[in-house]
């Protein structure tokens, strides 16, 4: 039987698919939001207003801010990491666990921890349980949980003194993180991503959270950083274009 001939049309379609030229047509919402997006930097209040005016989705989108920092994350003395409680909250609670001695377990759970304990909690995680957002630990438990570094570290869940998740006051830390306290950390590209609320928040609440976060990031500037520290700031919804916020270190 003779081989089937490949038509020119079929060949062209195959080439388009391989080259990535056949893509889904953007939705009306996406196109409309692109039209509303400004290419020029604007003050923070105006940026929050623009984000709020984007056409929404069926769910209440998170509003995120991204700081692009002039740091070299290859150097330990230029890492930017910490935690912050925003004045207006972020619109959701977090699932918190606590590594602590047996006499602290009851207080940790009363403060909002979904699980608390020592070796037994370590064993549960070793078996593959990761249904939590934040892990708090008392200093004396770090020796016990050190074996979890390889599994919690890559997920950003390993307790750390710099992030405020290793503390003597376990119950207080559990209460703060359960209420929405955030941990932030620069990625390899020097970017810090932080959620400042929901689309349903009033503009004023988003602005208050942003301004508090900005001051926190400014204070976290490593002494070893030379030149421009905050290179750019963008705010966006989960599924909206980004809006650039005007910023200068002299402000």
What's the average model confidence in pLDDT over 228-245? Answer: 93
Question: Quick one: which of 243, 241, 214, 242 has its CA closest to 230?
Answer: 214
pLDDT of residue 33: 62
Please give, one letter per residue, the 3-state secondary structure of 152-171: HCCCCCCCCCCCCCECCCHH
pLDDT tens string 35-83: 656 678 999 999 999 999 887 778 899 999 999 999 999 999 999 999 8
Mean pLDDT of the chain: 87
Taking CA 191 as the corner, what is the angle to CA 113 and CA 137, rounded to the nearest 5 degrees?
25
Q: Where are the domains of the chain?
A: 37-90+182-245, 96-178
- pTM comes to 0.70
The CATH number, out of the four listed (3.40.50.300, 1.10.10.10, 3.40.1010.10, 3.40.50.790), of the domain defined by the range 96-178 = 3.40.50.790
Whether 27 has a pLDDT exceeding 70, the answer reads no
The answer to whether the CB of 112 falls within 8 A of the CB of 96 is yes
pLDDT of residue 2: 46
Whether 96-178 and 37-90+182-245 are alike in CATH topology: the answer is no
DSSP 8-state code for residue 141: G
Given a cut of 60, is residue 8 above it in pLDDT? Answer: no
**What percentage of the chain has pLDDT greater than the value 90?**
65
- Averaged pLDDT, 166-185: 91
Q: What is the CATH number of domain 37-90+182-245?
A: 3.30.190.20
The stretch 107-127 carries a mean pLDDT of: 95
Query: Is pLDDT of 32 > 60?
Result: no
Higher pLDDT, 8 or 222: 222
């Amino acid at each position: 039987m003779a081989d089937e001939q490949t038509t020119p049309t079929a060949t062209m379609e195959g080439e388009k698919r391989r080259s990535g030229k056949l893509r889904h047509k953007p939705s009306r919402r996406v196109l409309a939001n692109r039209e509303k997006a400004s290419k020029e930097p604007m003050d923070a209040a105006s940026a929050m207003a623009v984000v709020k005016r984007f056409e929404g989705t069926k769910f209440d989108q998170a509003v995120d801010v991204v700081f692009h920092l002039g740091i070299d994350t290859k150097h330990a003395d230029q890492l930017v990491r910490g935690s912050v409680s925003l004045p207006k909250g972020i619109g959701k609670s977090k699932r918190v666990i606590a590594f602590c001695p047996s006499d602290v377990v009851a207080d940790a759970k009363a403060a909002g921890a979904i699980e608390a304990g020592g070796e037994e909690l370590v064993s549960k995680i070793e078996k593959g349980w990761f249904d939590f957002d934040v892990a708090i630990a008392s200093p004396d438990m770090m020796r016990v949980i050190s074996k979890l570094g390889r599994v919690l570290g890559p997920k950003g869940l390993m307790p750390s003194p710099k992030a405020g998740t290793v503390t003597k006051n376990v119950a207080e830390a559990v209460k703060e993180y359960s209420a929405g306290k955030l941990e932030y950390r620069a990625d390899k590209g020097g970017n810090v991503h932080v959620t400042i609320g929901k689309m349903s928040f009033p503009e004023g609440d988003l602005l208050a959270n942003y301004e508090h976060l900005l001051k926190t990031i400014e204070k976290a500037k490593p002494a070893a950083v030379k030149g421009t520290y905050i290179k750019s700031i963008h705010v966006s919804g989960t599924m909206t274009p980004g809006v650039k916020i005007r910023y200068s270190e002299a402000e």
